[in-house]
Homo-oligomer: A and B are copies of this chain.
């Protein structure tokens, strides 16, 4: 009897839970090398699951080298498994791709405290209300389940225009392109504006997903450092003048990972320099409405007089990431090209989720939701700042986020590459390793991102305390 514990209400499927449980038992020695596993039929009966579930778990364990099937004899724990605390694959590749993969993997491991992912708290989702909207789409379902509009559901585009009006951004529904999350939009704009081998100015640090997009499209990031007011103008102008970059990717509001916003003056100055060098700007405003103290300064798009800004925002942070819905307002001259690229990327999005969100927005559901959750996220922001002040040893500093879900820590180079990260993972605690953001070899300091959106205050305190101990013990 393996006596595996399964949770039928959990997000991982049963076969994954079984595979994970067996890995844990192999890792901690309860199942030693060479131990025989129960037959598929026997384990299926014991756990009251289908045989296919067990077959899938065994197949995955076998593919990853944890167990071996020997024809006619049975299934056994492999002889060459090295005990590991977690997955073999986590904490190994210290690149933006590797660490993004870690973030998404860790997020589905039970018993991990992950402050590595900038996401809203699923416990705060207005599920019943939203499910009501989905359910009531039934009479329109046949239309919504056919091929839809590549530009996005027309009802949703109307609601996006309403949102944009509140930000003093002009636009018609025919100007808006709905995307699969902001990520797809970032890809489309990057594809439209650049040629392989080209360069793109980005903030240092910037969103690691965007660094991955650049790599996947064969482009080089040109980092510009941030000061208290935003991107440094001397660096920005030098890059614009010297490097002929394709455009500037920027997060002016509640920047990820620092949580800070550009000053009004800096916005004007950046637009002015961009105008001088004919440089388009891709403005990522996904955190713009998660404001704890005051509203941020006007968006670049609303200040843009010569239609050079591609404006993007979406619903993964302010609402629910699993909808995979974002939107893009490109300069008019680029609309057709963006649509063409969208049709080539995946034809269109899911009509059901788009229309459900449109109706929810139409009834001011998002405004109600934000009124309810912003005070909760503000409290979490306050908690992490208090904990950092209380726990962190001297020499460690951090940004004070005015919005969004993350703070950016800076510390002396106490540890070797990835060492602090792996030590934390061993204690089942995750942050976003600063190595993911490396574009800048000259940096003498270490960094890491701590995300507090998805943690209750007691979880934030426990996480910061553990991290402070790991640093202090050094």
Contacts and interface: CB of A to CB of B under 8 A. Distances in A.
A426 B387 CA distance: 70
B350 A13 contact: no
A353 B352 CA distance: 9
Contacts of A108: 149
Nearest to A149: B108
Contacts of A216: 191, 340-341, 344-345
A83 interface: no
Contact of A196 (B64, B119, B139, B196): B196
Contact of A60 (B130, B174, B215, B339): B174
Contacts of A11: 140, 143-144, 146
A196 B174 contact: no
Contact of A122 (B138, B145, B172, B321): B145
B340 A97 contact: yes
Contact of A162 (B52, B140, B145): B52
Interface string A315-349: 01000111110000000100000011101111111
A87 B343 CA distance: 19
B346 A145 contact: no
A140 B125 CA distance: 12
A108 B147 CA distance: 10
Contact of A119 (B138, B146, B179): B146
A172 B60 contact: yes
A63 interface: yes
A346 to B, nearest CB: 4
A11 B52 CA distance: 41
Nearest to A218: B196
Q: Please tell me the size bucket of the interface on A.
A: 35 or more
A209 B344 contact: yes
Contacts of A410: none
A104 B322 CA distance: 26
Contacts of A97: 340, 343-344
A270 interface: no
A350 B350 contact: yes
B350 A56 contact: no
A322 B147 contact: yes
Given A104-B343, A158-B13, A175 B134 contact: no
Interface string A294-325: 00000000000000000000001000111110
B183 A346 contact: yes
A433 interface: no
Q: Which of A125, A187, A320, A322 has the largest count of B CB atoms less than 10 A from its CB?
A: A322
Interface string A352-396: 110000000000000000000000000000000000000000000
Contacts of A457: none
B174 A63 contact: yes
Nearest to A358: B13
A131 interface: yes
B343 A324 contact: no
A110 B78 CA distance: 63
A424 to B, nearest CB: 20
A146 B350 contact: no
Contacts of A320: 145-146
Contact of A339 (B52, B101, B175): B101
B154 A13 contact: yes
A216 B322 CA distance: 27
Contacts of A187: 344-346
Interface of A: 9-13, 15-16, 52-53, 56, 59-60, 63-64, 97, 100-101, 104, 107-108, 117, 119, 122-123, 125, 127, 130-131, 134-135, 138-150, 153-155, 158, 161-162, 172-175, 179-181, 183-184, 187, 191, 196, 209, 212-213, 215-216, 218, 316, 320-324, 332, 339-341, 343-353
15 contacts: A9-B139, A15-B158, A60-B174, A63-B175, A64-B174, A97-B340, A127-B145, A130-B141, A131-B138, A145-B320, A180-B346, A181-B346, A216-B340, A322-B351, A345-B345
Please list the 7 inter-chain residue pairs (A to B) with the smallest Cβ-Cβ separation, ordered nearest first.
Answer: A11-B143, A145-B322, A13-B154, A59-B172, A145-B320, A180-B346, A216-B344
